[in-house]
Structure 1
Amino acid sequence: MLSYIPNPLIIPVGLIVGMLIAAPVGPVNVLCIQRAIERGFWGGVAAGIGSVMGDGLIALCAGLGVGTVSGVVEAHRAAIQVIGGLALIAFGLRLYFSAPRVKMTSDAEAKTARLKDFAWDIPQTFFLTITNPGAVLGLFAVFGGVTTFVEVHSNVDVLLMVSSIVTGSMLWWITLSKFISRYRNRIDLHVLQILNRIAGILLALFGGVLIAEVILKAGHF
């Protein structure tokens, strides 16, 4: 019976890990922040949900001991990295050349906006998350390190840990999106255009680095 009672320390540790995973600036994080600036609170949350879902899926595989997943990622790392790099470059170029759109220009429009209005951002950031081999292997390593600090034995413990990590990451994105949406109306279209181009360049650079690493490892240069 005791095997069904989870370790209570898993919840606070999982929440902290989830926030730490979401906080560093990476390609997906740049895209999520840009969406919050351009589209407001629900735009940032929608992009964040996709990222959190990707991290949650990876954490679940790591927690259940699906070693074959990390093995497959490592075996096909080059192909996955190229696909992820091309996707980042495509997103970056589209963002760089697209005209800025401020969907919530007034309080009235902000109140009528809903999560479903930005639902298409969810699969986009989910795809970018799960096709980043560095993020996949990194999360496997983080999960392995955490489980040595907090005992995770049963499937109940694993599910609680994954749920806590997802909750922590989602709390981060909700808080950040709320903060950004509060001050985004102070940004005019010219500044937003500059921010879009900076975000587009960063995304394309991230993608280029991924592809360049594959080429260098292949010994072409």
Structure 2
Amino acid sequence: MSGMSAFLSGATVGLAITMPIGPMSLLCIQRALGSGALAGFATGLGAATVLVLYTTCAILGLGPALAAAMKDSQVALSIMSAGLLLWLSARVLGRTISLAAPCTDSRGAVSSYCSAVACALFNPLTPVLLAAVLPVVAAPEPSAASTMIAGVFAASVGWWLIVSGGVAVLRARLSVTVLNLFNKASGLILGALGLLMAANAVQLRF
């Protein structure tokens, strides 16, 4: 596999996992609407970081071991994911958006990044999607593995940049009432996803 083929294969994997709407997409959009492009992009960057971590493990042949570990820890992961989603939901629902200048504070961006890493890391769907997508593309030669991982990261980061930037542009065109309605709806959906994760943990446990 050539370097370009490996990069494009990685980009395909990155987009296939990043583009579907899920908790991370919702969180990125909510933060970009509420706090601006930087907060939204930092959230997406956190998700991309975890995706690269899982991809690296899979390409290095650690996929079966990772899958076994995830299966053994599925209940604990579901509980942690549920708790994190419910916590994020409470924070979103307790916040009122204003039309002040978008947040450019680096500490806020770091906080958004770290919470996104935690959310993506404890999301049991990420490795499942990766396991479904990776076999579709050709396995890279050892020399091309890093190029494929770079493709995954570039495509994922590029997608989050487009989403956060586009939503931030939309933010400037919406009224504060509409922004707050979307904010509350996002919080409720995150809470519902958290409850579903909790219910899944109970079902797996009993």
Which of 148, 158, 167 lines up with 1:171 in the alignment?
158
Q: Select the residue among 181, 203, 209 that pairs with 2:196.
A: 209
- Counterparts of 1:6 and 1:58, CA distance in 2: 22
Give the equivalent residue in structure 1 for 2:128.
137
Query: CA contact under 8 A between 1:59 and 1:140: conserved in structure 2?
Result: no
Deviation at 1:135, TM superposition (A): 1.4
- Which of the numbers 36, 60, 63 marks the counterpart of 1:64? 60
Equivalent of 1:196, from 165, 183, 197? 183
Query: Is 1:184 matched with 2:175?
Result: no
Q: Quick check: 1:99–1:193 contact (8 Å CA) kept in 2?
A: yes
- Aligned with 2:32 (options 33, 36, 55): 36
Q: Distance in 2 between matches of 1:115 and 1:20?
A: 30
Q: What residue is the counterpart of 2:141 in the other structure? A: 153
Partner Cα distance (2:139, 2:177) in 1: 52
Contact 2:7-2:149 at 8 Å conserved across structures: no
Contact 1:54 1:126 in 2 (8 A): yes
Q: Which residue of 2 aligns with 1:11?
A: 7
Please state how far the C-alpha of 1:21 moved relative to its aligned partner. Answer: 1.5
Q: 1:91 to 1:114 in 2, by over 3 A?
A: closer
- Please state how far the C-alpha of 1:48 moved relative to its aligned partner: 0.7
For 1:18-60, what per-residue CA distance to the aligned partner results, in whole angstroms no more than 9, with x for missing partners? Answer: 1222111111110011111112221211111101001111111
The more displaced of 132-141 and 78-87 is 132-141
| 2:11 alignment partner AA | L
User: CA-to-partner distance for each residue in 1:69-96, whole Å, 9 max, x for gaps?
Assistant: 2211111111111111111011112111
Identity of aligned residues (%): 22
Moved more, 121-130 or 38-47: 38-47
Distance 1:215 1:114 in 2: 39
Q: Give the superposition deviation at 1:6.
A: 4.5
Provide, for residues 118-144 of structure 1, a one-character-per-residue CA deviation record: whole Å limited to 9, x for no partner: 221001011100101121232133223
Alignment check: 8 A CA contact 2:8 2:148 kept: no
Taking the aligned partners of 2:178 and 2:147, their CA distance within structure 1 comes to 42
What SS class does the counterpart of residue 8 from structure 1 fall into? helix
Matched, 1:95 2:95: no
Instruction: Give the TM-score taking structure 2 as reference length.
Output: 0.91
Q: TM-score, normalised by structure 1?
A: 0.85
1:79 matched to 2:115? The reply is no
CA contact (8 A) 1:32 1:44 kept: yes
Mapping of residues 102-113 of structure 1, within 5 Å: 102-104=99-101, 113=104
Aligned residues: 205
Matches within 5 A, 1:19-30: 19-30=15-26
